[in-house]
Amino acid sequence: MSHRCRSCNQTGLVPILSLGSLPLANDLLTPDQLDKPVETFPLDMVFCPRCALVQITETVPPERLFREYLYFSSYSTTMVEHVRRLVGQIIRDRNLNGKSYVVELASNDGYLLQFYQQAGIPIMGVEPAENIARVALDRGIPTVSQFFGKAMAEDWSQMGLRADIVHAHNVLAHVADLNGFVEGIAILLKPDGLAVIEVPYIKDMIDRCEFDTIYHEHLCYFSFMALETLFHRHGLKVQEVQRFDIHGGSLLLFLTHAAIPASPDTFSVDHLRQQELGWHAEQPYFYLDFADRIQALRGEITELLSYLKGKQGYRIAGYGAAAKGAMLLNYCGIGPDILDFVVDRSVHKQGRFIPGVRVPVCSPAQLLETPPDYLLILAWNLADEIMAEQAEYRRRGGQFILPIPKPRIVV
């Protein structure tokens, strides 16, 4: 079967790696689902030689993935603080007030929009996960539960609803209709408006061997040049770009309509563009050893855990029932024979089981009730936050294992 690029429609995509057939990372099981077969899907990654977009070939229907979702952004203190600072800066820089209008696409539980609302700025969230949208509405955050795209943007524009600010954080990689989504942003954005888009950065994923970032919800893995090509196609221009360590390495991009003159911060765009040319982001060979490095890392992780559990008899638990954790456990084949349980702060995940490996998810209180000797931090992108939160577990002699970029024990 010949696959076409999700961005430029090119054929002849170059295979990079295959992780096999794996379950959906956020498809946590209820107790009555434990005896039923788990549905799996191929997870193969390819590179487009025309526009440099790295992507997976399988598209699981968005309705299957996102209509009920168990990731609530407010449970991450790191994420909430990140957007609180960002919103404050945007309000000041853009002189926003009660006559402004801010829209967030994939607005989750209102974790970001709440800060605009507190400043008296009109807001609207767009969140396709119906269960999460209900939580946002209960918090007083205006939210519509729809999938955003060109048609929705045109409807809003015809009603006179255009935005001064459009936020889209960690959603672009999830979008099946990539061009329709970006075209929708261009339509929704006022002539002098600002789009703020955040995506995981492929350079960090490659450098740190972050294979657990690859899962079926993440259809695309962006370099800056792939993003710039996509945005240019729809009349949008990146005015500034920032790199953050959040989510294991991300790009935060500030875009305007192409007619807006370049800003003083455009040097950050030129600098990153030159950096990517330096490491040949436009060439497939940069990505081709990724598969070998992933296999080697899997061997190191399983060897360490098997030694601690099998040879030494230590008890091991995990922290973080997010997609990263599910992917790492399934790809490495780590199940209840190694992990006693996984803990997560989200009450929406507690009482469920990791798909595929069927490890139970508990409250973090379990770490003090039946303390393991080691805690495998599956949400390694939040390791500092988690280790600070678990100071009492640490004080009692508990130790942490960080699996990526190399497995290591933190006392």
Model confidence pLDDT, tens digit, residues 12-62 = 999 999 999 999 998 999 999 999 998 999 999 999 999 999 999 999 988
Is residue 77 over pLDDT 90?
A: no
Domain boundaries, the chain: 65-286, 302-410
Q: Output the pLDDT for position 86.
A: 97
Q: What integer is the mean pLDDT of 197-213?
A: 95
Is residue 87 over pLDDT 90?
A: yes
Residues near 283 by beta carbon (within 8 Å), at least 6 away in sequence: none
In tens, the pLDDT along 228-267 reads: 999 999 999 999 999 998 777 899 999 999 999 887 777 8
DSSP of 236-279: EEEEEEEEE-GGGSEEEEEEEETTSPPPGGGHHHHHHHHHHHHT
Q: Output the pLDDT for position 158.
A: 95
Q: What integer is the mean pLDDT of 311-332?
A: 95
Element (H, E) at 192: strand 189-200
Q: Is there a shared CATH topology between the 65-286 domain and the 302-410 domain?
A: yes
Closest by alpha carbon to 327, among 405, 211, 202? 211
316-319/250-257 β-pairing: unpaired
Q: Binning pLDDT at 50, 70 and 90, where does residue 2 land?
A: low
143-144/123-126 β-pairing: parallel
Q: What is the pTM of this model?
A: 0.93
Sign, CA dihedral 73-78-84-86, equals negative
Task: Beginning with the edge strand found earlier in the chain, give each strand of the sheet holding 102-105 in spatial order.
Answer: 143-144, 123-126, 102-105, 163-169, 189-200, 250-257, 236-244
189-200/250-257 β-pairing: antiparallel
Element (H, E) at 410: strand 408-410
Q: Which of the four CATH numbers 3.40.50.2300, 3.90.1150.10, 3.90.226.10, 3.40.50.150 does domain 65-286 have? A: 3.40.50.150
Q: Output the pLDDT for position 311.
A: 87
Residues near 197 by beta carbon (within 8 Å), at least 6 away in sequence: 167, 168, 169, 172, 185, 252, 253, 255
As a 3-state breakdown, the chain gives helix, strand, coil percent values, each rounded to 5, of 40, 25, 40
Q: Output the pLDDT for position 1.
A: 54
Alpha-helical (H) ranges within 279-337 are 290-306, 323-332
Quick one: how far is CA 172 from the chain centroid? 9
Count Cα atoms within 13 angstroms, Cβ side, for 384.
Answer: 7
Q: Helix 150-158 vs helix 178-188: angle between axes, to the nearest 10 degrees?
A: 20
Instruction: Decide: 363 and 350 in contact? Cβ < 8 Å.
Output: yes
Q: List Cα–Cα distances, 32 to 18, 209, 314, in angstroms.
A: 31, 35, 30
Is residue 75 over pLDDT 80?
A: no
CATH class of 302-410: alpha beta
Mean pLDDT, the chain, whole residue set: 94
Instruction: Decide: 163 and 122 in contact? Cβ < 8 Å.
Output: no
Quick one: how far is CA 63 from the chain centroid? 18
Q: What integer is the mean pLDDT of 72-101?
A: 92
- Give percent of the chain with pLDDT exceeding 70: 98
E-assigned strand segments in 24-63: 40-47, 54-56
